[in-house]
Amino acid sequence: MFRFARMKQLLATIRLILVFTGSLVLVIVGLILLLICLGSPAISRFITKNWARYCLAVLNVKVNFSGQIPSQRVILMANHRSYIDIFLAFSRYPASIVAKKELGRWPIIGWSVRLARMILVDRSRKSSLIATMRAIQAEIDKGGSVILFPEGGIVEGQLTGPFKHGSFKIAQQTGTPVVPAAIHYHDDGVFWGDESFLNNFYRQMGKWRTTVDFWIGEPITAPTDAELMTSVKNAIDLKLREFRN
């Protein structure tokens, strides 16, 4: 039993080193290319997508993908269960992503804020929330797409938690369709709650494989932002129920 635990710890350590070193190389190359190409969004999307796919491969995350990738400007909204969700979203649709400001302090991730076009939000400050909404609108006004988690953080449970309302108002004001996305892990242990990142990483990534179902739905529009929020939430919950059955 002790030997098995040591093997899991060793596997997690190797994966952490590979994620760190591989990410460092890709971030440095990406930032250099961005500088040479004057901030080209195409370079950002290319590096971000390949970084996410590299991390999923190193962590041996088996992704059962269904649905279709948006072909237009959209706001993609998904339920949120783990830090792996960011890799999932970027691996299929490397748009600008809304994330908590703490990510900006992480090694590698903090350096890649510009590369991945992240919009960082401090959920404890109202002024930051307002600035985030403005940043989302600015990205959409430039013709870009945005990825966000409308629950406002990581939520444990079989279905979605309460949604934050502000992004649905922006979708209505800008006439931007919202695309629902559902994420379901076969192992509930992947949920990242109050524990530290390292504790969660070693607990989950010491396992040989993590399997996840990832679905991207059709764009949704509605007459009002309240109806839009209800429709998107229902679409995600319906797919989560299907994954559970």
Average of per-residue pLDDT values in the chain: 89
**Beta-sheet strands, E only, within 58-177:** 61-67, 75-78, 96-100, 119-121, 146-148
Which residues are within 8 A (CB) of 58 and not within 5 positions of it... i.e. 6 or more apart? 15, 18, 19, 22
**pLDDT value at residue 236:** 98
Cα separations in angstroms, 79 against 18, 198, 229: 27, 22, 13
Strands 61-67 and 119-121: unpaired
**pLDDT value at residue 197:** 85
**pLDDT value at residue 1:** 60
CATH 1.10.10 fits 2-244, yes or no: no
Percent of the chain with pLDDT over 70: 93
Strands 96-100 and 61-67: unpaired
**Beta-sheet strands, E only, within the chain:** 61-67, 75-78, 96-100, 119-121, 146-148, 178-185, 210-216
Q: What is the average pLDDT across 6-21?
A: 93
- The pLDDT confidence band at residue 22, using thresholds 50, 70 and 90, is very high
pLDDT in tens, 157-198: 889 999 998 889 989 988 999 999 999 999 887 888 788 888
- 64 has pLDDT over 70: yes
Cβ–Cβ < 8 Å for 58, 18: yes
pLDDT in tens, 81-105: 998 999 999 999 999 988 877 766 6
pLDDT in tens, 102-142: 766 666 666 677 777 888 887 667 677 788 888 888 888 88
**pLDDT value at residue 194:** 80
Q: What is the average pLDDT across 61-68?
A: 96
Give me the residue label for tokens 């990242």. Answer: 192
**pLDDT value at residue 107:** 63
